[in-house]
Amino acid sequence: MYIFNLNYGTKVFSDALHDDAISAIAFDKTRGQLYTGSWDCSVKGWASKSGSVDMTTEEPLFESTNQISCLHLSSDGNILLYGDIEGKGLYKKRC
């Protein structure tokens, strides 16, 4: 994953967050939480501050039998939905 500062056109972060390509991203501004879904069949959560991802805060959220194709976070940040390449979807409720 690469995170860029669009004001300056500079890369501010890069790292391998998954074992395969990241295919979906959702961001919760209120909590400063980044969610990533991958072809490695997992969804993970990360603390994100000042344009970087804190690698020590990895939180595995889901393991699927199929590659993750999309993520959606509810407007209040309490429900994270994901879908896989076979069209199956699940959710995780956060409080």
pTM of the predicted structure, to 2 decimals: 0.73
| Burial status of residue 17 (CB atoms within 10 A of its CB: 0-12, 13-18, 19 or more) | middle
Sorting pLDDT into bands at 50, 70 and 90, what band is 51? low
pLDDT tens-digit series, residues 56-90:
777 778 788 899 999 999 988 888 888 988 888 77
CB within 8 Å of 34: residues ≥ 6 apart: 25, 26, 27, 28, 45, 46, 47, 48, 53
